[in-house]
Amino acid sequence: MCSNQISPAMTAKSETSYTHVLEEPVRMLVVDDDPIQREFATVYLTTPSAEVIAVPTSERALKRLNKENFDIVLVDFEMPGMDGVELIKAIRAESKFAKLPIIMITGHESIATIDAAYRAGATSFATKPVNWRLLSYQIKYVMRAHAVLHAESSNA
C-alpha cells in the first residue's frame, strides 16, 4: 500500500464520532502571556463540562485564585514579571491552595527547568508545542489522582 493511501481501518477510525476527554466538571485557570496559547487552551480544553479561564499574567492569576474557585491551574514557565515558578511558589505559600493541582507547561525540557517546576510545587509537567488531546488526558488523570488523594487524606 502506498503511503498516501488510506486503509479501511483508518477510514473506520476517522468516521467515529468525536468524544470529549474532559467529561467531569472541571474549572481550569490557564496562565500564559502568549495570547495564541490562551486561545488554543480555551478552544481545545473547553467542553460542555470543562470551563477554561485564561489570564495573561501571574498577578492576574493570583487575583482570580483569591476571588474564584478553580480545580486546576495550568502555568506557563516563561512570563514577564512573575514567572511560572514564582507563581507556583506564591500559590503554594497560601495554605488554602496547598492541594490545588498545578501543571507547568513550557517549551523548555531541561533538567533544571523540570526540577525547578517540581521543587516549586508543580503537580505535573507538559511541554510545548502542546498536544492538546494528550494534555486533556493528563488533566483528567491529575484530577482523578487529586480526588483519590483528597479522599484518602480526609478519611485519615
Is residue 50 a part of any domain in this protein?
Answer: yes
Is residue 13 a part of any domain in this protein?
Answer: no
* Pairwise CA distance, residues 109 & 104, whole Å: 11
Nearest-CA neighbor of 66 among 91, 101, 86, 102? 91
Q: Domain of 76?
A: 22-155
Sorting pLDDT into bands at 50, 70 and 90, what band is 1? very low
Is residue 8 a part of any domain in this protein?
Answer: no
Q: How far apart, in Å, are the Cα atoms of 26 and each of 3, 71, 92, 101?
A: 40, 6, 20, 12
* Pairwise CA distance, residues 44 & 126, whole Å: 15
pLDDT per residue over 44-99, tens digit each?
999 999 999 999 999 999 999 999 999 999 999 999 999 999 999 999 999 999 99
What CATH code is carried by the domain that includes residue 69? 3.40.50.2300
pLDDT per residue over 95-132, tens digit each?
999 999 999 999 998 999 999 999 999 999 999 999 99
Residues pairing with 106 in the sheet = 127
| Strand bridging mode 72-76 / 124-127 | unpaired
Q: How far apart, in Å, are the Cα atoms of 58 and each of 18, 23, 31, 72?
A: 34, 28, 7, 15
Predicted model pTM: 0.85
More confident residue, 75 or 16: 75
- Helix (H, G, I), strand (E, B), or coil: what is residue 148? helix
Is residue 9 a part of any domain in this protein?
Answer: no
Is residue 14 a part of any domain in this protein?
Answer: no
Q: How many domains does the chain have?
A: 1
- Interval 36-43 mean pLDDT: 97
The percent of residues above 70 in pLDDT, for the chain, comes to 85
Question: Residue 112 has what pLDDT?
Answer: 95
